[in-house]
Structure 1
Amino acid sequence: MKTILVPFDFSEQAENAFEFAKGLAKKKAAHLKLLHVLETPTMTSMNTMGTVDAGPEIDQIYVLELVEKRKQQLAEIEAKTNAEGYKFSTKLIFGNPYAGITKEVVDFDANLIVMGSKGSSGIEELLIGSNTEKVVRNAKCPVITIKDQVSTDDIKRIVFASDFNDNSIKLVNKLKTLQSTLGAELFLVKINTPSLFENSRISTKSMEAFIKDHQFENAHFSIYNSGSEEEGIRDYAEDIDADMIAMATHGRTGFLHLLGGSIAEDVVNHAKRPVWTFKVK
Structure 2
Amino acid sequence: MKKILLPTDFSENSVNAIRYAVQLYKDQKCNFILLNTYTPVVYHVEYMSVGAAQFGLLDAIKEHSQTGLKNIQEKIETEFQNPNHIFSRISAFNMLITEIEQLYSENTMDMIVMGTQGASGLKEVLFGSNTIHVLKNAKCPLLAVPNNFTYEAPKELLFPSDYGIDFTEQHLEEVKNIATLYTSRINVLHVATADELTAKQEVNKQKLATYLDDTAHAFHTVHHHDIGSAIAEFQSESRINFLAMINNKHSFFENLFFGSKVKQIGLHLHTPFLIIPAKA
TM-score range relative to shorter protein: 0.7 to 0.9
Query: What is the TM-score of this pair, normalised by structure 2?
Result: 0.78
**Alignment partner of 1:275 out of 273, 276, 279:** 273
Mapped pair 1:69 → 2:67: no
* Shift in alpha-carbon separation, 1:230–1:111, aligned structure 2, 3 A: same
Aligned to 1:168: 168
Letter of the structure 2 residue corresponding to residue 249 of structure 1 = N
SS in 1 for 2:274: strand
Aligned to 2:196: 199
Q: Distance in 2 between matches of 1:56 and 1:241?
A: 58
Q: Which digits, 9 at most, give the CA deviation of each residue in 1:72-131, with x for residues without a partner?
A: 222222333325121111110012111112212333531111011128698x99xx9722
Letter of the structure 1 residue corresponding to residue 65 of structure 2 = R
Letter of the structure 1 residue corresponding to residue 240 of structure 2 = A
Letter of the structure 1 residue corresponding to residue 23 of structure 2 = G
Q: How does 1:131-280 map to 2 (within 5 A)?
A: 131-150=130-149, 153-166=152-165, 167-193=167-193, 197-199=194-196, 207=205, 210-212=208-210, 214-251=212-249, 261-264=254-257, 266=262, 269-270=266-267, 271-280=269-278
Q: CA deviation at 1:34?
A: 0.7
Mapped pair 1:117 → 2:116: yes
Aligned to 1:4: 4
Q: Distance in 2 between matches of 1:43 and 1:18?
A: 29
SS in 2 for 1:17: helix
Aligned to 1:80: 75
SS in 2 for 1:155: coil
Mapped pair 1:18 → 2:18: yes
Maintained 8 Å contact 1:137/1:251:
no
Q: Which moved more, 1:157-166 or 1:210-219?
A: 210-219
Q: CA deviation at 1:261?
A: 4.8
Q: Distance in 2 between matches of 1:275 and 1:159?
A: 9
In structure 1, stretches of 5+ residues that fail to align are 45-52
Aligned to 1:48: none
Q: CA deviation at 1:174?
A: 3.0
Letter of the structure 1 residue corresponding to residue 184 of structure 2 = A
In structure 2, stretches of 5+ residues that fail to align are none
Q: CA deviation at 1:169?
A: 2.5
Give the total of aligned pairs: 261
Maintained 8 Å contact 2:163/2:202:
no
Maintained 8 Å contact 1:3/1:108:
no
Identity level (%) = 20
SS in 2 for 1:224: strand
SS in 1 for 2:190: strand
Aligned-residue CA RMSD (Å):
3.5
* Shift in alpha-carbon separation, 1:213–1:115, aligned structure 2, 3 A: closer
Q: CA deviation at 1:165?
A: 3.8
Maintained 8 Å contact 1:40/1:95:
no
Maintained 8 Å contact 2:2/2:110:
yes
Letter of the structure 2 residue corresponding to residue 91 of structure 1 = I
SS in 1 for 2:26: helix
Q: Which digits, 9 at most, give the CA deviation of each residue in 1:24-63, with x for residues without a partner?
A: 342211101110001223457xxxxxxxx97996644333
Q: Which digits, 9 at most, give the CA deviation of each residue in 1:204-231, with x for residues without a partner?
A: 9975663245414221121122232222
SS in 1 for 2:33: strand
Q: CA deviation at 1:133?
A: 1.4
